[in-house]
Every structure is written in structure tokens, then in C-alpha cells.
Amino acid sequence: MDLSWMRIANRVLLGFVWFILVPAIFAFFYTVIETQSAARVAVGANSRLAPFTISRLADRLNALEAEIETTSQELTALDEKIRAAKVRVDEAKQKSTAAVNSVWITFRNAQPTCELEQCLADIVTDNDQHDWAEGAEIPKRVAAAQQLYDAYRNAQFVSDDLVDRNGHAETALAAAKAEYNGSKPPAPSDQADQADQADQADQPVTGPVGADEGSTEDQKAVALSFNKQRHAIPLFEFAFFLPSGVIVASFTGLMGAIGAAVYSLYVELGMLAAPKGEPDRTWMAFGVRPLLGALAGFTVFFVISAGASFLIQPQATEATQAVNQLSPPALASLGLFAGLASENALKWLVEKANSFFKSSDDGDGAAATGA
């Protein structure tokens, strides 16, 4: 009874590994390899630093997106404040104008024809020239007109300040959008309105002058993809910065494990399945053999990727290029083949190792035996 429950637990655990964990790891490695490959192609020259170039660009794009969102919200709030401030300015101007006109008519018995500020200055001068009795009404009305005018000027100052802040925010938004789209920010001019500059920043733009447009757009596309993946996939950013050889070797080893599991499944479903009464071989078939296949695929990858240049010690850049030129399907096939024939793959590796490290004593011994 205990043995039966142990077999069920083994199958549940192995089912979790092969139906959930292994596909997730496969998708993880495949995504990292494709993103690294796209980064190298987009960066072009000095592609060994492609992950750092793309990461720096991705961080800058994140900062620009946050700046654009914050500035847009600030502009929306400023628009509401400007509308409210203009209403207050109009109300304060109407009250101030009415008070000044009333006093002007009292003094001169005619409608004023001057500007508000000049009319106020004139009635203040006229008021100062009169010797009013204590508690006279006219001086009070002049003082009230001055207070209303001061309130109007303060409201106008607040409104102008808000408009000025709005202009700076629109310029910052236009510059951020231009940089995000890959162009230089529009140069301010006396004829061009700042709102028009913000609208122009929304239009499709080309890369900076002197830059490769295709390369710039490719780098931006890879950086945006990198941003999405590093937030959605755990450990993606860590793996993205690992050397490509580490990722592809691990991916090949995983495919070797899958190949070994496929072979084990083939055997278990065939004539070589364990007869009844023999010990359960589930762990041997889907636990130990896939481990052997993973190790075989991992080691075979390095031998195959080195190729004939393995004996002449290639430069580091050449070795990196050789690894980078292997496509994910080729890596998957290599690991799969090594896993399906893991025993033969390891025998082949042993033969290569024996041939590579063959000493002169072995040849002398063989010659002596032949004699």
C-alpha cells in the first residue's frame, strides 16, 4: 500500500516537472535567446555590449514615459487652473473698472476715455488735490477702487504665472516626446506656438541627425520589448545580462533532457516496458535518464560550437560569434539529438577526449605489441 502511494507521488511530481516546469523553462530560455539575438542585431557594432546598451535605452524610455505621463497630468491640471484664474481676472477687472468709472464720473461728470490704470491714477490725483471733510464718501470710494484694482492685478499676476508654467510644461512635454520618438526636440521660435510644438512631437519622426534610422528604431523596439518582458517574466533581466554562451548551453542541456525523456517514453511504450512484478522504473526513465541527456546536450554543445577551430584556440570574439550564429532551432535540435542518443553521445565524447589526450606512450605501447 505504501509502495502504491509512493508511485502515485512520483508520477504527480514528475507530471508537474514535465508538463509545467520544463515548458516554462523552455519558454524562458527561448525568450532570452531571441531577445539577446535581437539586441545584438539592433546594436550592430560592438554587439558584445548589446545587453547593456539596450538596458540603458530601456531605462531612459521608462523615464521618458513617466515624464510624459507626469507632464501631461500637470498640463491638464494647469489648464483647469488657468480657466479658473481667467474667470477671476475678468470678475476682478469688471469690479475695478466699475468702481474707477463711478469715481471718474463723480469728479469730471463725463465718461472716462482712458485706460483703467491711467484713469485710476487721475482720480487718485484729483482726490489728493481736494481737502475733504472727515468721513467724506469720495475718499472712501477712491480707496475702494484702489483695492479692487490691486485685487485685479494680483489675479492677473497669478494667471500670467500659470500661463508661463503651462508654457514651460508644454516645452518639456514636446522635448520628452521628441526624445522618446527618436528626434531632436523642436527649437522654439517667435512665430511657432508652443502648443504647435507639442502637436508636432506627436507626429512620426526620424532618428537624430547622423544616426542610422533603422538601427535607432530597432534598438527602441528591442528596448520596449525588454521592458515588458523584465516586468512580466521573473529573473528575465538577470538572465539577459548573462553571456550568451551560458544561456545557449543551458538551453541545449534542457533540450537534451527533453530528448532523453522522449526516448524513455518511447521505450516505456514499446516492447521494452518493464514486465509486471519488476521495480518501478519511472524515476529511472524520467528522472535519471533526462539528467544524463541534459549533461550530454550541455557538453556536446560546446564541442560542436567549437568545431574545427577547437584545436587552434580561436580568439574570444570569434568564439562568441560562433555561438551567436547558432539559431535557437539549431540549438534545440542539437540538444534533442544528444538527449535521444545520450549513451552514444557520451561514448562519442569519450572517444574524442581519448583521441585528443592520446599520449606518445600509447603509440609506443601499440608498436611494441605489434612487434
- DSSP assignment of 44-87: -TTGGGHHHHHHHHHHHHHHHHHHHHHHHHHHHHHHHHHHHHHH
Residue ranges in 109-136 assigned as alpha helix (H): 116-129
Are the C-beta atoms of 260 and 339 separated by less than 8 Å?
yes
Highest mean predicted confidence (pLDDT) among 41-55, 197-211, 309-323: 41-55
222 pLDDT more than 80: yes
Q: What are phi and psi of 283, to 5 degrees?
A: -65, -35
Q: Which residues contact 179 (CB under 8 A, 6 or more apart)?
A: 64, 185
Q: Is the pLDDT of residue 194 over 90?
A: no
pLDDT at 337 over 60: yes
What is d(CA 37, CA 42) in angstroms, rounded to the nearest whole number? 9
Phi-psi region of 8 (alpha: psi -120 to 50; beta: other; left: phi over 0): alpha
HEC string of 178-198 equals HHHHCCCCCCCCCCCCHHHHH
* Helices and strands per DSSP (H, E), number in the chain: 15, 0
Of 55-69, 131-145, 207-221, 278-292, where does mean pLDDT reach its minimum? 207-221
SS3 134: coil
Cell numbers 584556440 correspond to: 313
Single-letter amino acid, residue 45? A
Averaged pLDDT for residues 99-125? 88
pLDDT greater at residue 188 or residue 215: 215
- CA 245, 333, 310 angle in degrees (round to 5)? 45
Quick count: other Cβ atoms within 10 Å of Cβ 349? 16
Average pLDDT, the chain: 76
- Looking at residue 326, its pLDDT comes to 57
Distances in Å between the Cα of 164 and the Cα atoms of 142, 159, 326 are 33, 9, 57
Q: How many CA atoms lie within 13 A of 232 on its CB side?
A: 10
Task: Tell which residue, 116, 122, 77, has the closest CA to residue 97.
Answer: 116
Angle at 332 between CA 230 and CA 353, to 5 degrees: 115
pLDDT at 331 over 70: no
Spatial CA neighbour of 173 closest among 201, 154, 196? 201
Global pTM reads 0.63
Amino acid residing at 246: V
- N-to-C CA span, the chain: 65
358's torsion region: left (phi>0), alpha (psi -120 to 50) or beta?
beta
11 vs 30: which has the higher pLDDT: 30
Q: So what's the pLDDT on residue 249?
A: 82
Task: Decide if pLDDT at 313 tops 50.
Answer: no
Alpha-carbon gap, residue 21 to 150, rounded angstroms:
74
Percent of the chain surpassing pLDDT 70: 68
Check residue 210 and give its pLDDT: 37
| Whether pLDDT at 371 is above 60 | no
- Cell numbers 561514448: residue: 347
- Angle between the N-to-C axes of helices 244-269 and 289-306, in degrees from 0 to 180, rounded to the nearest 10: 140
What is the spatial distance between Cα 345 and Cα 334, in angstroms, rounded to a whole number?
11
Angle between helices 213-232 and 22-43 (to 10 degrees): 160
More confident residue, 354 or 189: 354
Average pLDDT score over residue span 336-351: 73
